Each structure stands twice: as structure tokens, then as C-alpha cells.
Amino acid sequence: MRLEVERFSYGPDAIAHAPDGRVVFVSGAVPGDTVEAHVTKETARSLRATCTQVLEPSPYRVKSRCPYSEVCGGCPWASASYDFQLSAKRENVVSSLMRIGRFGQEHAQQLVAPAQACGESWGYRNKIELAVARQGQRTIVGMHPAKGAAPIKVDRCLLLDPVAEKLVKGVSGALSYVASSHQLELERVGIRASRRTRDIEVALWTSPGAFPRAHMAKVLGDAAKPTSVVRVLSKGPQKARKVTGVEVLSGTGSWSERILDETLRVSAPSFFQVNTKGADKLVHLVLEGLNPCEDDLAMDLYSGAGTFTVPLARRCAFVDAVESYGPAVRDLRRNLEMNSIDNGDPVGGDADREFPDSEADVIVVDPPRAGLAASVVEKLSRQPARAIAYVSCDPATLARDLERFVAQGVFEPVSITPVDLFPQTFHVENVTILKRRD
């Protein structure tokens, strides 16, 4: 099938239209390309296809810096110029506001600022995860594939900070070596590395059971010189596994990073932004949008390990923080204590059930990809706050929630800033500032 590629989807593929009008999701293509594509799946409304030949290259097409980008799932947009990636991400946010949030085109275009870059478009990640699979008697450790199940063996990952990119090869080799004499039952492997604190952590995710703790710590220590090696124990169904404990195999047992002027310590199961310079920019935009004062009462929902709680506590009289994930709650309490902050109250639990019984002046919400429950939007709309900063990692759920805020008639969005924490991918973070209506 010959296709004229039109735009990127909010996903790894580009979008074209078949001669009969059906949408075609094309992998390996860049908007503006004319391609030959092989259809891999067909439904009544759409097709999926793989680019087999670029007949006429797009003006936005570039040669990917990563030799594995066509087979590895880590950088699906690597063949598009970075300026075009930024433009496409902004347009995806505008499109979501129009299609899902029911904003008019002019209003959506006015709300969404140009997407902001966060330093380098390669070598920006402080964390990657390696996939693990058994092939006969061998254990294969590598990057997650774009398609299929077998991990992609690589020498280095160009998305990882250059000070740590060689860790991929060292850690993969060390794990394969230990696996040759032990049944490891590894599920995945996390590597975190900080240029600012020089911390390196290797986290091994496994089921409970026997494990060569000392041998693993020794081999990984020789291969990667980590400051921390931990084993994260989890069990349950594959799509709903729960962490049951963390064993420290060597070192500090956690990883630290510095965001602006604050140092935070994070345990392996806890979420932390993978782009440190991007996290700096998020905090800056949130503080700029809220303009907190020293006598303000602040609220931080879905607070995680304290990325926003700690800087808010420096500037406000008090912060009510709510986080549902147990390891993150423990990290938040430790970070408040470590930074000598006593004007914050971390509460563990669901944001709806544990919604603070207080009247906030400024509010931050940074929910997971699912966004805010409708009941949380209602409770936020009853707050006397002058401003809310909504940090979102999914344009679709952001658009849905902004429609709900508008329907409540109390707060309205005044600006949406896409922040590119994930170059070479379709993902984008957004900082939305909502202000109380006059």
C-alpha cells in the first residue's frame, strides 16, 4: 500500500489514510513521508501497517542517532527532527482538548503554549528499565522491544545520561554471568544514575524465594560500581503485581537526586521523573503559576516522594500532602525529615478518601496516567484556593478533567505548557494552571 503520511498519533505510529478512507497507523514513518507499507492488521474502521520503504522522505525526517531505534521500543520518534517532535507534541495536546475536552479550536490554540525542551534531546534519562527473558538455558537481558517479546541486546542506551550509558552493557553482562550458575527468576531490572549526586542504583525485580544475594552484590559491584543494589520483591498477577518488600544487597538501599535546590532520596519502587532537568522545569512552572506566599496553606495531591511538597513547604506556612503508594509515602516522610522540614503533613491513602480537611490557598495535583476521579474534581472545586497547578502525563485524561473543571464553574484553565521530558518518544508532560473565576 502506498501512503501519504499526515501526522503523528499520540503513540509510536504515524497516521495516514487508505484509499477507502480508513485510518492507517503506520510504524516507522514520519509525517510528510510517502511510503510503501505492509498491512499487518485490519478492522472495519482502521488498519495497522509497517513502513517497508520510504519512497519520498519527509522534510522532517532525520537519521536516527540510535542504531536500535527501529527494533527497540525506547525511541519511536527518533527519525523525526527534534523541532518537529516539539511541534507535534503541542498539536497532540491541542487535539486532545478539542476532541475530548470539547474546547473550541481557537480557545485550545490560545491555551497551549509552545512545547518546552529540557536540555539535550538525547542522554537525558536518569533511569532505564531492562527486560529479562529466558531462552532455553540462557538468560537474555536487554531493552524492551518495539514488537515481539525477546529483549534487544545493546551495548549502550543513548537515552541514558552519558555518564551512565555504559552501565547497560555492564549490568546486562553481570546478570547473564550470575544467571549461568543460578536460577534468578528476574522480572525486570532498573538502573538509576544521577549526574548531580553521582548515585547509581541497580534494582532487581524478582518473586520471593531463594536468591544469590552476596554473589549478585559482588558481581554487580565489580561491573557497575553502584552506590546501591536492591532486590524488589513482588507477587501477584502479572498486570497487578504488588511490592512485598525491598532487600538491600549492598550500599545505601536508595537513590538520591537533586531537583533545583533540594535533594530527594527515593526507594526503587517509588516513581520519580526520569528527566532531571525536566523535573526542574516542572517545579519552576508550578511555582511560577501558583506564586505561593509564606502565609499560604498548600495542598499537594498524588505527592509521590516530594518533588513539589518540599519546595512548597519552603515557601508556604503548611502543606497537606496525600499519596496512595506506601513506598512513596515513606520516601516523602524521609525527605521532609532529611531536609529539616516540619511544616508538612504526609498522609497515606487515596486522594478522594483522604482529601485534606482544610482550606487551601494553592494546590498541586500530579495524578498518574488515569487522571483525576470526577469526585476529586468536585472536591477541588469546593476549595477556596486562588490557583491549582495540574501536572499531567496524559493529554487525553487532562482534557477530560479540564472539561469537568469547566463544568463545575469555579476554576478555569488559563495556560497549558507542554514540557518535553521524553524526547524521541510521543510522551509529553503538561503543566496546566487553573485560576478561580472572577
pLDDT at 230 over 80: yes
pLDDT at 373 over 90: yes
* Structure-block grid coordinates of residue 269: 519502587
Please name which of 219, 236, 220, 228 lies closest in space to residue 198, comparing C-alpha atoms.
228
The percentage of the chain sitting over the pLDDT mark of 90, rounded to a whole number, equals 87
For residues 229 and 288, state if they share a domain. no
**Inside any domain, residue 143:** yes
Would you state the pLDDT for residue 250? Answer: 97
Active site residues: 393
For residues 288 and 216, state if they share a domain. no
* Structure-block grid coordinates of residue 366: 500530579
* Structure-block grid coordinates of residue 275: 528527566
What are the pLDDT digits (tens) for 275-288? 999 999 999 999 99
Give me the domain span that covers residue 24.
1-61
For residues 414 and 329, state if they share a domain. yes
Look at the block and give the residue holding cell 538501599.
253
Domain boundary among 257, 285, 306: 257
Would you state the pLDDT for residue 149? Answer: 75
Query: Binding site annotation covers 366?
Result: yes
Helix (H, G, I), strand (E, B) or coil at 64: coil
**Inside any domain, residue 396:** yes
Would you state the pLDDT for residue 139? Answer: 83
Would you state the pLDDT for residue 59? Answer: 98
Measured between alpha carbons, how far is residue 437 from residues 199, 286, 289 in Å?
45, 19, 15
292 and 284 in contact (C-beta within 8 Å)? no
- Could you tell me how far CA 28 lies from the centroid of its own chain? 22
Lowest average pLDDT, out of 83-92, 93-102, 159-168, goes to 159-168
For residues 156 and 304, state if they share a domain. no
With cut-offs at 50, 70 and 90, classify the pLDDT of residue 407: very high
Collect contacts of 97-102 with beta carbons under 8 A, ≥24 apart: 97/395, 97/399, 97/402, 97/416, 99/399, 100/396, 100/399, 100/400, 100/403, 101/398, 101/399, 101/400, 101/402, 101/403, 102/403
What residue type is 424 in one-letter code?
A: Q
Would you state the pLDDT for residue 136? Answer: 75
For residues 424 and 283, state if they share a domain. yes
What residue type is 369 in one-letter code?
A: R
Query: Binding site annotation covers 323?
Result: yes
Q: Give the separation between CA 291 and CA 261, rounded to whole angstroms.
A: 17
What are the pLDDT digits (tens) for 90-139? 999 999 999 999 999 999 999 999 999 999 999 999 999 999 988 777 88
- Max Cα–Cα distance, the chain, nearest Å: 69
For residues 198 and 319, state if they share a domain. no
The 3-class secondary structure across 91-124, one letter per residue, is HHHHHHHHHCCCCCHHHHHHHECCCECCCCCCCC
HSE, side-chain direction, 13 A CA sphere, residue 139: 23
What are the pLDDT digits (tens) for 311-331? 999 999 999 999 999 999 999
Please name which of 25, 1, 108 lies closest in space to residue 426, comparing C-alpha atoms.
25
For residues 175 and 305, state if they share a domain. no
For residues 288 and 425, state if they share a domain. yes
**Inside any domain, residue 237:** yes
Please name which of 192, 158, 151, 193 lies closest in space to residue 172, comparing C-alpha atoms.
151
With cut-offs at 50, 70 and 90, classify the pLDDT of residue 150: confident
pLDDT at 146 over 90: no
Lowest average pLDDT, out of 95-109, 145-159, 320-334, 336-350, goes to 145-159
Would you state the pLDDT for residue 273? Answer: 96
**Inside any domain, residue 263:** no
Helix (H, G, I), strand (E, B) or coil at 238: helix
Domain boundary among 257, 284, 315: 257
For residues 236 and 185, state if they share a domain. yes
Would you state the pLDDT for residue 34? Answer: 98
For residues 235 and 282, state if they share a domain. no
Q: Give the separation between CA 112 and CA 114, rounded to whole angstroms.
A: 7
Domain boundary among 18, 33, 61: 61
Q: Give the separation between CA 91 and CA 171, rounded to whole angstroms.
A: 39
Q: Give the separation between CA 224 and CA 76, rounded to whole angstroms.
A: 28
- Could you tell me how far CA 206 lies from the centroid of its own chain? 22
pLDDT at 200 over 90: yes
Would you state the pLDDT for residue 240? Answer: 77
Helix (H, G, I), strand (E, B) or coil at 10: coil
CATH assignment at residue 299: 3.40.50.150
pLDDT at 359 over 80: yes
pTM: 0.95
Would you state the pLDDT for residue 179? Answer: 87
Q: Give the separation between CA 352 and CA 377, rounded to whole angstroms.
A: 9
For residues 303 and 199, state if they share a domain. no
pLDDT at 171 over 90: yes
Please name which of 116, 108, 30 lies closest in space to residue 423, comparing C-alpha atoms.
116
Would you state the pLDDT for residue 153? Answer: 87
CATH assignment at residue 31: 2.40.50.140
Q: Give the separation between CA 438 and CA 436, rounded to whole angstroms.
A: 6
Would you state the pLDDT for residue 192? Answer: 97
pLDDT at 212 over 90: yes
Q: Report the relative pairing of strands 411-419 and 200-206 from DSSP bridges.
A: unpaired
Would you state the pLDDT for residue 206? Answer: 93
Please name which of 340, 336, 344, 290 lies closest in space to residue 317, comparing C-alpha atoms.
344
Average pLDDT value for residue range 50-74 = 95
Q: How many domains does the chain have?
A: 3
Q: Which contiguous run of DSSP H or E holds residue 20? A: none
Average pLDDT value for residue range 265-283 = 97
Q: Give the separation between CA 134 and CA 149, rounded to whole angstroms.
A: 11
**Inside any domain, residue 137:** yes
pLDDT at 239 over 80: no
Look at the block and give the residue holding cell 531462552.
135
pLDDT at 238 over 80: no
For residues 177 and 286, state if they share a domain. no
With cut-offs at 50, 70 and 90, classify the pLDDT of residue 184: confident
Query: Binding site annotation covers 273?
Result: yes
Query: Binding site annotation covers 91?
Result: no
159 and 128 in contact (C-beta within 8 Å)? yes
**Inside any domain, residue 114:** no
Q: Give the separation between CA 385 and CA 354, rounded to whole angstroms.
A: 18
Mean pLDDT, the chain, integer: 95
Would you state the pLDDT for residue 409? Answer: 97
Q: Give the separation between CA 413 and CA 138, rounded to whole angstroms.
A: 54
With cut-offs at 50, 70 and 90, classify the pLDDT of residue 180: confident
Q: Which contiguous run of DSSP H or E holds residue 391? A: strand 387-392
**Inside any domain, residue 11:** yes
What secondary structure letter does DSSP report for 386?
Answer: S
**Inside any domain, residue 365:** yes
Q: Give the separation between CA 86 and CA 419, rounded to whole angstroms.
A: 9
Would you state the pLDDT for residue 202? Answer: 97
Q: Give the separation between CA 250 and CA 212, rounded to whole angstroms.
A: 13
Please name which of 336, 325, 337 lies closest in space to residue 366, comparing C-alpha atoms.
325
